[in-house]
A and B are shown apart, each in its own frame.
Chain A
Amino acid sequence: MPGALPVLNEAVVDLAVAVALALDASIAEKAGFARKNYFYPDLPKGYQITQHAEPLARDGHLDIELEGRTLRVGIRQIHIEEDAGKSVHSEHSDSDSSLIDMNRCGVPLVEIVTHPDLRDIDEADAFLNELRRILVCLGVTTGEMHEGSLRFDTNISVRPRGATEMGARTEIKNLNSFRAVRKALAYEADRQSRVLRDGGKVVHETLLWDESRERAVPMRSKEGASDYRYFPEPDLVDFEIDARRLDRVRESMPELPDAARRRLVEVYAIPEYDAFVLTAESSMLRVYESTVDALLKRLGPDASPGAAKTVSNWVMVVLAGHLHERGITLAELSARVASRGPTDRQDLAFALPSRLAEVIALRLRGEVSEPAARRLFEAAMESDEPVDELVETLDLGTLSDEDALRSLVREVLAAHPDEVARYRAGTTKLIRFFVGQVLGRTGGKADPELATRILLEELGHGGTT
C-alpha cells in the first residue's frame, strides 16, 4: 500500500543470532538493512529489504561427519531479509500465464550462504541434512521444504580433473525436496560437463528446476538483473546486537543435534544410529529422555542395563509408527495424551512419556507379551484409563498359568496331526507354526517363550512313540 512502512520483527533477529551462534559465525555489533531494487510481479514494492553491506554475521562453519571423515563447510554470511511472493507457474508449460501468491510477502527469512566447499552431491546432501537438523532444532524453521519453510538455492560448477580454477557456475532455484536437490545437481553437473567436453562455455545464469520433467531451464531474465542498485533502507533503523542479547539467545538455545548425539551415546549407551534418529527433532529427544527417566524410576533396582536401548526401540519404531499411521506430529499426540489426563501443568510434557514408560515396564517385567504390549500402547495413547487398569480391561495380561497353557498346546497339537507328524519327521521349523497357533488362540496374550517350552516338551514326549 502507498504509505505503508516496514517494521523489524525482533524475534527474527534472535533466531538469526541463534543460527549464527550454532554455525560459529562472527556476529556484527551493529547491522542494518538495504533495498535491493528490481521489478518482478512477486515483489510488490519493487524492491526487497535485505542486508547487503552489513550482514548480521560472517565467517562461520559447520563440521559434518561423512564416511568417517570430518568435512568443514565454510559459511560466508548469514543475513535477514523479507520474503517475496510466490510465483506459481502454470503446470502446462505451453501456457504463458503465471499466478502470484502474495501471502508470504514481507515475511522475514534468514539466508545462509556457504563458501564453495562442497565437492560432490553426497557432500552437499550431508551438509544440507545436517544444516536442516540444526535449524529445526533451533526452532528457526519446521524444515518442511514442500511448504517453502526451508529452501535451497544451489550453485554448481564443474572443472577438469586437476584444474585449480573453478569453472563458471550456474544457480538452480525452485528445489522443493532433498531428492530434487540431488537430481538437479546431478543433471546440471552432467550438462555442464557435456558443454565443456564439446568445447563450449558454461554461461553464468540462473536456472529453474522443473520437477515434472526433471530438467533445469533458464529463468526468464530479470530486468537489470546485474545491477540491483543497493542502498541503505531509510525506513528501518540500524539494530544493535549487544552482549546482553547474545547471552540471552545463547541461554535459550537448545542442545544442538551433534552435541545431543554424542551425549546420548555416552549416557545411555545406545548405538550411534539410534542417537542420530532420536536427535532429529528436539521433541523426539525430550520424549525419549523423559521416558527413560520414568522407566528407571518405575523399575528401580531391577532395571537392566539395556532398558535405555529398549526405550529407543519403542520410540523409534512403535511411537514413530503410531504417528506415521495417523499422520500426526509428536507435539499433537503429546497434547492429546496430556489433555485427557489430570490437568497438572507438570503432566503436559510428561503424560506421554510416563504412559509409555509404564507400558515398557509391564513388558520388561513380563506381565504382558510383546504383541500385547503393542496393543496396550495403542490403547494407552487413546484413552485416559490408568495403564495397569487397561491391562485388565482389555484382558492383556500374560497367560502364564502353565496348566492352562499346556492344555491349550495339547488342543493345538491334536488339531494338526499332519503337522505334528512332519515335525517329528524332521521339519523342526514347524515349531514356529505351532507357537503362532497357540498365541492366536490366546489373542496374543500367551508368553511366547513359555508356549515354546511347553510345545517342545509336548512334542518331545512323542505321544504315540
Chain B
Amino acid sequence: MKLYELTFSQIRAGLVEGDFSSRELSESVLDRIERVEPAVSAFVTVRDRGEILAEAAATDARRAAGRCRGALCGVPVAVKDNISTRGLATTCGSRMLEGYVPPYDATAVSRLRDAGAIIVGKTNMDEFAMGSSNENSAFRSTRNPWDAGRVPGGSSGGSAAAVAAGEVPLALGSDTGGSVRQPAGFCGVVGAKPTYGRVSRYGLVAFASSLDQIGTMSRDVEGAAALLEAIAGEDPRDSTTAAEPVPSFVGDAGIDLTGVAVGVPDEYFSDGLDPSVAEKVRDAVEIIRSLGAKVQTVSIPNLRFGIAAYYLVADAEASANLARYDGVKYGHRSDHAEDLDGLYRMSRSEGFGAEVKRRIMLGTYALSAGYYDQYYLKAQKVRTLLARDFEKAFESVDVLLAPTSPTTAFALGERVHDPVSMYLSDVYTVPVNLAGLPALSVPCGLSASGLPVGLQVVVDKFREPVMFRVARAYERAAGAFPAPPGL
C-alpha cells in the first residue's frame, strides 16, 4: 500500500510507530497530486514542494525530540479556498478575488498550524461557496474521482475530490447548506459539519454568516473527528462561537451501540429520493440496529420548507456580505469605469459569476422594503419551526439517520441551467444548517451505477461525540470503503 492511500488512523499510527516520516508521507502525497491532479482538478493552488517538504522534515525533527504530541503533527491537510491563509492566495473560486493574498490566517488555520499540520494547498470550490457541483468555480470544474464525467458536489467539491483521490488525507471545507456533507457523499469520503458556533468563522470568507461553519473531510471518521477537534473551541474574534468546552471527538473505537436511540425521519424518504440511495441508507440503518442501537421512526414535518427558507436567509445575508467587493479596496476593479457608480457596477458585473449575481439579486429582493416580512421574516419563522421539529425529535432519540443527498453524483452540465434542480440537491442537508445542528456524512456503499452513497448522521447541538461514535461503529462494521477505481 502506498502512503497516500492510508487513512488518517493508519497515518497517525504509522507516524507514532516510526513506520514512515512526515517527509515521506508528504512526498507520496505530492507525487499523487502531480499524477492525478490533471484529471481531478481539485486544487486552485498547491504550495511549493520544497516548502512543504521542509515543513514536514521540521515536524519529523520535532517528533524525534518528543515535541510532536498532537494527532495532526506532520499530517498534510488541504484547505478550501474560502478560508484565509496568510501569504497564500485565497480566491473563493472567484475572479473577484483572483490574486488576493490574505495578510492573516483564519483561526481554524492558525490552530492547524499550531497542531503541526502541514498545509498542502487550497482547494477548488463553487464561487463564494454558492453551488452544489463545483461548476460555479470561475477557474475550472473539479471532476468526481469516481467518474470524470460527474460532478464532485459542492461547494467544497475540491476538498472532497482531493481526499477521495488520495491527494491529501484530510481537508477543511465549509458547510452553509450542505457544502461539506453533500460533496463528501458524492465522492465517498467522510464529511463533518459541527454545531453552529463550535468552530470560529474568523477568516472564513462569509457567504451566509448565520449558517456558515467550517467542516472537516477525511477518508475515515477518525480523521474528520481529529481535525474538527483541533480547530474547535471559543474564539474571542468570533462573537458567535460558543463557550462550550470541547470534549474528545475521536473517542474510542468501540463498535457496541447498545443504549443509543436512533431516529429515522420519515420525510427524508419521500418521492424525490433515488431508490438505490434509499436502499443503501436503509441497509446502513439495519447495520447500526445490529450493533445494539434502538431504531424508531420520527418526524421532521417542516422539512419540505427547508429549501425555500434556506435560500431566502442565505441569499439575504450574502447580499450584504458580498457588498464589500466594490472594486474600491481589494479584488477585481474594472478598468472601464468613468464614475463611482460605474466602478461599482462594472467591477461587480465583471468580477462575479452568474450564480453569485443571481443570489445577490434574490437576497436584495428578499430584504427590500415591502418584501421583508413576506420573505426574510417568514423564512426566519420557518427556521424556528424546523429547529423545534429537531428539538422534538431529540427528546426521544440521540441521533437521526438519513440520506445525505437524494441522488448520487450527477453528470457535469446536467443541472447548470436549472438552478432549482441544483438547489434541490441540498434538500436533506439545509435543515441542519437552519437549526444550527452538527451532522456528518459517512459513505454507506455504492449505488447500482457504482457511485458512492452518503449516510447522514445528525445529532443535537454540541453532541458531536455521539455523532462520531455512531459513525465510527458503523464504519467498522461495514468494512473499509473502497478507493475510486481507475485513477
Binding site for B on A (CB under 8 A): 1-8, 35, 37, 39, 41, 44-47, 223, 226-227, 229-231, 234-237
Picked from A39, A229, A235, the residue with its CB within 8 Å of the CB of B239 is A235
Picked from A3, A44, A230, A237, the residue with its CB within 8 Å of the CB of B202 is A3
Can you list 23 residue pairs at the A/B interface with Cβ under 8 Å?
A1-B84, A1-B102, A2-B90, A2-B92, A2-B102, A2-B324, A3-B102, A7-B239, A37-B319, A37-B323, A45-B323, A46-B322, A47-B323, A229-B372, A230-B367, A231-B376, A234-B208, A234-B317, A235-B206, A235-B240, A236-B239, A236-B240, A237-B240
Determine the chain B residues whose CB is within 8 A of the CB of A44 once the complex forms.
Answer: 324, 328-329
Contact B84 A2 (CB under 8 A): yes
B65 within 8 A of A: no
A7 and B328 in contact, given A39-B323, A47-B323 (Cβ under 8 angstroms): no
Determine the chain B residues whose CB is within 8 A of the CB of A3 once the complex forms.
Answer: 83-84, 90, 102, 106, 201-206
Return A56 CB to nearest CB of chain B, in Å.
17
Return B236 CB to nearest CB of chain A, in Å.
7
Contact B364 A39 (CB under 8 A): no
Return A13 CB to nearest CB of chain B, in Å.
13
Determine the chain B residues whose CB is within 8 A of the CB of A47 once the complex forms.
Answer: 320, 323
Return A307 CB to nearest CB of chain B, in Å.
54
Determine the chain A residues whose CB is within 8 A of the CB of B210 once the complex forms.
Answer: 234
Determine the chain A residues whose CB is within 8 A of the CB of B127 once the complex forms.
Answer: none
Contact A231 B239 (CB under 8 A): no
Binding site for A on B (CB under 8 A): 83-84, 90, 92, 97, 100, 102-104, 106, 201-206, 208-210, 236-240, 316-317, 319-320, 322-324, 326, 328-330, 340-341, 344, 364, 367-369, 372, 376
Query: How long is the Cα–Cα vector from A231 to B205 in the complex, in angstroms?
Result: 20
Contact A7 B106 (CB under 8 A): no
Which 4 residue pairs are nearest across A and B when measured between Cβ atoms?
A: A46-B323, A234-B210, A234-B209, A229-B367
Determine the chain A residues whose CB is within 8 A of the CB of B324 once the complex forms.
Answer: 2, 44-46
Query: How long is the Cα–Cα vector from A234 to B239 in the complex, in angstroms?
Result: 10
Q: What residue of chain A has the Cβ atom nearest to residue B365's Cβ?
A: A229
Query: How long is the Cα–Cα vector from A47 to B376 in the complex, in angstroms?
Result: 18
Return B361 CB to nearest CB of chain A, in Å.
13
Q: What residue of chain A has the Cβ atom nearest to residue B103's Cβ?
A: A1
Q: What residue of chain A has the Cβ atom nearest to residue B202's Cβ?
A: A5
A5 and B239 in contact, given A39-B344, A44-B328 (Cβ under 8 angstroms): yes
Return A414 CB to nearest CB of chain B, in Å.
83
Chain A CB within 10 Å — which of B100, B103, B201, B340 has the most?
B340
Q: Is the interface of B mostly helix, strand, loop or mixed?
A: loop
A229 and B92 in contact, given A2-B324, A3-B84, A39-B326 (Cβ under 8 angstroms): no
Chain B CB within 10 Å — which of A39, A227, A229 has the most?
A229
Contact B320 A46 (CB under 8 A): yes
Query: How long is the Cα–Cα vector from A229 to B209 in the complex, in angstroms?
Result: 17
Contact B369 A227 (CB under 8 A): yes
Return B349 CB to nearest CB of chain A, in Å.
14
Further pairs besides A45-B324, A47-B320, A231-B367: 8, Cβ < 8 Å: A2-B84, A6-B239, A39-B323, A41-B340, A229-B319, A229-B368, A230-B367, A236-B240
Contact A37 B320 (CB under 8 A): yes
Q: What residue of chain B has the Cβ atom nearest to residue A38's Cβ?
A: B323
Contact A2 B316 (CB under 8 A): no
Q: What residue of chain A has the Cβ atom nearest to residue B376's Cβ?
A: A231
Determine the chain B residues whose CB is within 8 A of the CB of A1 once the complex forms.
Answer: 84, 102-104, 330
A7 and B236 in contact, given A46-B324, A231-B367 (Cβ under 8 angstroms): yes
Query: How long is the Cα–Cα vector from A229 to B361 in the complex, in angstroms?
Result: 13
Return A268 CB to nearest CB of chain B, in Å.
48
Determine the chain A residues whose CB is within 8 A of the CB of B104 once the complex forms.
Answer: 1
Q: What residue of chain B has the Cβ atom nearest to residue A220's Cβ?
A: B340
Picked from B208, B320, B369, the residue with its CB within 8 Å of the CB of A35 is B320
Contact B205 A2 (CB under 8 A): yes
Return A361 CB to nearest CB of chain B, in Å.
54
Determine the chain B residues whose CB is within 8 A of the CB of A235 once the complex forms.
Answer: 206, 209, 238-240
Determine the chain B residues whose CB is within 8 A of the CB of A229 once the complex forms.
Answer: 319-320, 364, 367-369, 372
Determine the chain B residues whose CB is within 8 A of the CB of A2 once the complex forms.
Answer: 84, 90, 92, 97, 100, 102, 205-206, 324, 330
Query: How long is the Cα–Cα vector from A230 to B317 in the complex, in angstroms?
Result: 11
Determine the chain A residues whose CB is within 8 A of the CB of B367 once the complex forms.
Answer: 37, 229-231
Determine the chain B residues whose CB is within 8 A of the CB of A223 once the complex forms.
Answer: 341, 344
Contact B317 A237 (CB under 8 A): no
Q: What residue of chain B has the Cβ atom nearest to residue A231's Cβ?
A: B367
Determine the chain A residues whose CB is within 8 A of the CB of B205 once the complex forms.
Answer: 2-3
Determine the chain A residues whose CB is within 8 A of the CB of B239 once the complex forms.
Answer: 5-8, 235-237
Query: How long is the Cα–Cα vector from A46 to B316 in the complex, in angstroms?
Result: 14
Return A234 CB to nearest CB of chain B, in Å.
4
Determine the chain A residues whose CB is within 8 A of the CB of B330 once the complex forms.
Answer: 1-2
Q: What residue of chain B has the Cβ atom nearest to residue A236's Cβ?
A: B239
Contact B204 A46 (CB under 8 A): no
Determine the chain A residues whose CB is within 8 A of the CB of B201 once the complex forms.
Answer: 3, 5
Q: What residue of chain A has the Cβ atom nearest to residue B322's Cβ?
A: A46
Return A5 CB to nearest CB of chain B, in Å.
5
Return B197 CB to nearest CB of chain A, in Å.
9
Return B334 CB to nearest CB of chain A, in Å.
14
Query: How long is the Cα–Cα vector from A8 to B236 in the complex, in angstroms?
Result: 10
Query: How long is the Cα–Cα vector from A71 to B108 in the complex, in angstroms?
Result: 57
Q: What residue of chain B has the Cβ atom nearest to residue A40's Cβ?
A: B340
Query: How long is the Cα–Cα vector from A382 to B84 in the complex, in angstroms?
Result: 55
Return A48 CB to nearest CB of chain B, in Å.
10
Query: How long is the Cα–Cα vector from A1 to B330 in the complex, in angstroms?
Result: 8
Return A52 CB to nearest CB of chain B, in Å.
11
Determine the chain A residues whose CB is within 8 A of the CB of B319 once the complex forms.
Answer: 37, 229
Determine the chain A residues whose CB is within 8 A of the CB of B236 once the complex forms.
Answer: 7
Determine the chain A residues whose CB is within 8 A of the CB of B376 once the complex forms.
Answer: 231
Query: How long is the Cα–Cα vector from A37 to B102 in the complex, in angstroms?
Result: 25
Chain B CB within 10 Å — which of A44, A47, A231 has the most?
A231
Query: How long is the Cα–Cα vector from A6 to B323 in the complex, in angstroms?
Result: 16
Determine the chain A residues whose CB is within 8 A of the CB of B326 once the complex forms.
Answer: 39, 46
Q: What residue of chain A has the Cβ atom nearest to residue B331's Cβ?
A: A2
Query: How long is the Cα–Cα vector from A237 to B83 in the complex, in angstroms?
Result: 22
Return B364 CB to nearest CB of chain A, in Å.
7
Determine the chain A residues whose CB is within 8 A of the CB of B340 once the complex forms.
Answer: 41
Query: How long is the Cα–Cα vector from A226 to B370 in the complex, in angstroms?
Result: 12
Return A120 CB to nearest CB of chain B, in Å.
35
A231 and B237 in contact, given A2-B92, A3-B102, A3-B202 (Cβ under 8 angstroms): no
Return A44 CB to nearest CB of chain B, in Å.
6
Determine the chain B residues whose CB is within 8 A of the CB of A6 once the complex forms.
Answer: 239
Determine the chain B residues whose CB is within 8 A of the CB of A41 once the complex forms.
Answer: 328, 340
Return B8 CB to nearest CB of chain A, in Å.
27
Return A97 CB to nearest CB of chain B, in Å.
11
Q: What residue of chain A has the Cβ atom nearest to residue B370's Cβ?
A: A227
Q: What residue of chain A has the Cβ atom nearest to residue B210's Cβ?
A: A234
Determine the chain A residues whose CB is within 8 A of the CB of B372 once the complex forms.
Answer: 229, 231
Determine the chain B residues whose CB is within 8 A of the CB of A8 once the complex forms.
Answer: 239
Determine the chain A residues whose CB is within 8 A of the CB of B97 once the complex forms.
Answer: 2
A231 and B102 in contact, given A3-B202, A41-B328 (Cβ under 8 angstroms): no
Return B388 CB to nearest CB of chain A, in Å.
19
Q: What residue of chain B has the Cβ atom nearest to residue A45's Cβ?
A: B324
Return B91 CB to nearest CB of chain A, in Å.
10
Determine the chain B residues whose CB is within 8 A of the CB of A237 once the complex forms.
Answer: 239-240
Determine the chain B residues whose CB is within 8 A of the CB of A4 once the complex forms.
Answer: 202-203
Contact A5 B238 (CB under 8 A): yes
Determine the chain A residues whose CB is within 8 A of the CB of B344 once the complex forms.
Answer: 39, 223
Query: How long is the Cα–Cα vector from A45 to B322 in the complex, in angstroms?
Result: 8
Query: How long is the Cα–Cα vector from A226 to B209 in the complex, in angstroms?
Result: 25
Return A376 CB to nearest CB of chain B, in Å.
54
